[in-house]
Amino acid sequence: MSFPAIFLMGPTASGKTDLAVELVRRLPLEIISVDSAMVYRGMDIGTAKPGPEVLAEAPHRLIDILDPAEPYSAARFRKDALAAMREITAAGRVPLLVGGTMLYFRALEFGLDRLPAADPEVRREIEAQAAETGWSSIHDRLRRVDPDAAARIHPNDPQRLQRALEVYLLTGRPLSSFHGGRTEGVLPYRLLRLALVPGDRAALRARIARRFDEMLELGLIPEVETLYQRKDLNPGLPAIRAVGYRQVWAYLSGESDFDTMRRQAITATCQLAKRQLTWIGSYPGLVTLEPGAMDVDSVVERVSRHVME
């Protein structure tokens, strides 16, 4: 017998949290966050982390579990998520995994490739080059040794660029050559995979801009300033590379003015949404929902049927 679980994915600012909370209100579900930035404590405004009133009604697992100085990986997420899913199932509820970090969804459902462990020295060498000549030079370097990975990875995605080049430098093999050697089996749950896919991309971009302005009004700059003042944090860390945080960090460093920071943050968030939608377009077995035209009652009914099967 396999137990049910729900995936709810979508691009940033598409309304995932609102729908997830409504599902929790009506059905015996418990939320697990699938977000590579919400895992960090002290990063609340810029990650659109649910507020205390929402968490009181619909608790989220896997948020606020790490200090921003600590790294987090798809492998660790898979381990943490599986443990949380087992606990939720044992308590007689159904796991509802919600977020926009598509790599984490894939790692959880399909397992991970057998890649070499991270090497701090190699990472420092890559970061030093990026600091001197920009991440576009890292993308050019990757294209020379692993054109397939370079074609898949956007030049403004430093975390994936760094990892792809690191794998080549450690092994002499392109990243794609490791695909298919899974460290784990498939996810032992019966899944309903839902995806919010906005049909009006211009409206999504406008919503992203409005939300970033709201974050600024709520105190995003002081939030990042608290991180900036810490001596153990730097712009090369995954937490600080998060969209919005790295642009405000650059503003605090004097590398940009306010208007440039705002424009770059909104542009980077729109680029993130575009990448998320690309991932969603290639994800198998999805039921897509249009946020603006969605009948919530029908979604609840569909999830209920899946839970009761």
Query: What residue spans define the domains of the chain?
Result: 3-112+182-308, 120-178
Q: Give this prediction's pTM.
A: 0.82
What is the per-residue pLDDT for 188?
87
What distance in Å separates the CA atoms of residue 270 and residue 274, rounded to the nearest whole number? 6
The mean pLDDT value for 113-135 works out to 83
- H or E segment and range at residue 148: helix 147-152
Q: 239-271 as b/e, with b when 16 or more CB fall inside 10 Å? A: bbbbbbbbbbbbbbeeebeeeebbebbbbbbbe
Q: Say what percent of the chain tops pLDDT 70.
A: 97
Cβ pair 195, 280 in contact under 8 A: yes
Quick one: tokens of 66?
A: 């790490």
Sign of the C-alpha dihedral, residues 35, 41, 47, 50? Answer: positive
What is the per-residue pLDDT for 84?
98
DSSP annotation string for 155-211: TT-HHHHHHHHHHHHHHSS-GGGGTT-BSS---SEEEEEEEE--S-HHHHHHHHHHH
What is the per-residue pLDDT for 1?
56
What is the per-residue pLDDT for 263?
97
In tens, the pLDDT along 143-158 reads: 988 899 999 898 888 8
Give the confidence band of 299 by pLDDT, cuts at 50, 70, 90.
very high
What distance in Å separates the CA atoms of residue 181 and residue 113, rounded to the nearest whole number? 5
Cβ pair 48, 15 in contact under 8 A: no
What is the per-residue pLDDT for 183?
52
The mean pLDDT value for 107-126 works out to 82
Q: 91-117 as b/e, with b when 16 or more CB fall inside 10 Å? A: eeebbbbbbbbbbbbbbbbebbbebee
CATH of domain 3-112+182-308: 3.40.50.300
Query: When comparing pLDDT for 159 and 45, which is higher?
Result: 45
Q: Are strands 94-99 and 189-196 parallel, antiparallel or unpaired?
A: unpaired
The mean pLDDT value for 174-193 works out to 76
What is the per-residue pLDDT for 69?
94
Please tell us whether the domain made up of 120-178 is placed in CATH 3.10.129.10: no
